[in-house]
Amino acid sequence: MIFYDFLWLPEHIVNDLRFCFQKTSLVGSECCGLILGSYQKYIAHAQQLLPVHNVHQQKNSFMLPLHTYRQAKYISKKCNWDIIGIYHSHPNGKPYPSPMDVRGIENSDYPWLILAPACNKQAGLELVAFQPGTMKPITIHTKSALDTPFKN
Ligand SMILES: [Zn+2]
């Protein structure tokens, strides 16, 4: 099981998430995939998304194809990364886990990231993340947030 308290999502990852979210939201389905990257102690750094086809039959659910983890491990090994999370979207929903998500997170080996539309449409996406097992919230940093203290 992988634990961390902070997840750094650089700008290109946020852009990729936004793209996946928008593309699937148009047809009212959830996007899903894995987040690859590195982690150490409390902090994880997302390096690449592995967006996959949502194979669940129902619209308000998601399921990763079986080969996804094998594919992710293959890519990760080459780059010395790990699978650091699972993401999916709630195109018309709220940025918190559904009862089914809670069961999934409790039984997962990886943190979960949930994408939902922001209340303020201009802001685009709302992102929340949870540790597996305990459901402890993970603090998400995006590049702009991390950059702010260094801007002068
Ligand atoms: Zn969900």
* pLDDT-derived band at 122, boundaries 50, 70, 90: low
Q: Is residue 43 within 8 Å of residue 11, measured between CB atoms?
A: no
Q: How far is the CA of 112 from the centre of ligand 1 (A)?
A: 10
The answer on pLDDT for 106 being more than 60 is: yes
Look-up of token digits 């699937």? 24
Q: How far is the CA of 29 from the centre of ligand 1 (A)?
A: 11
Q: What is the 3-state secondary structure (H, E, C) of the chain?
A: CCCCCEEEECHHHHHHHHHHHHHHHCCCCCCEEEEEEEEECCEEEEEEEEEECCCCCCCCCCCCCCCHHHHHHHHHHHHCCEEEEEEEECCCCCCCCCHHHHHHHHCCCCCEEEEEECCCHHHCEEEEEECCCCCCEEEEEEHHHHHHHHCC
Mean pLDDT computed over 71-77 = 96
Q: How far is the CA of 99 from the centre of ligand 1 (A)?
A: 8
Q: How far is the CA of 152 from the centre of ligand 1 (A)?
A: 39
User: Which range among 14-18, 22-26, 142-146, 147-151 has the greatest average pLDDT?
Assistant: 14-18
The reported pLDDT for the residue numbered 151 is 38
The reported pLDDT for the residue numbered 118 is 86
Q: How far is the CA of 84 from the centre of ligand 1 (A)?
A: 18
Q: What is the CATH number that goes with domain 6-150?
A: 3.40.140.10
Indicate the pTM of the whole model. Answer: 0.91
The reported pLDDT for the residue numbered 28 is 87
Look-up of token digits 């992102």? 127
Mean pLDDT computed over 45-55 = 96
Instruction: Name the more confident of 108 and 92.
Output: 108
* Domain ranges (residues) in the chain: 6-150
Q: How far is the CA of 150 from the centre of ligand 1 (A)?
A: 35
Q: How far is the CA of 37 from the centre of ligand 1 (A)?
A: 22
What is the rounded CA–CA span in Å between residue 97 and residue 107? 14
What is the rounded CA–CA span in Å between residue 67 and residue 69? 6
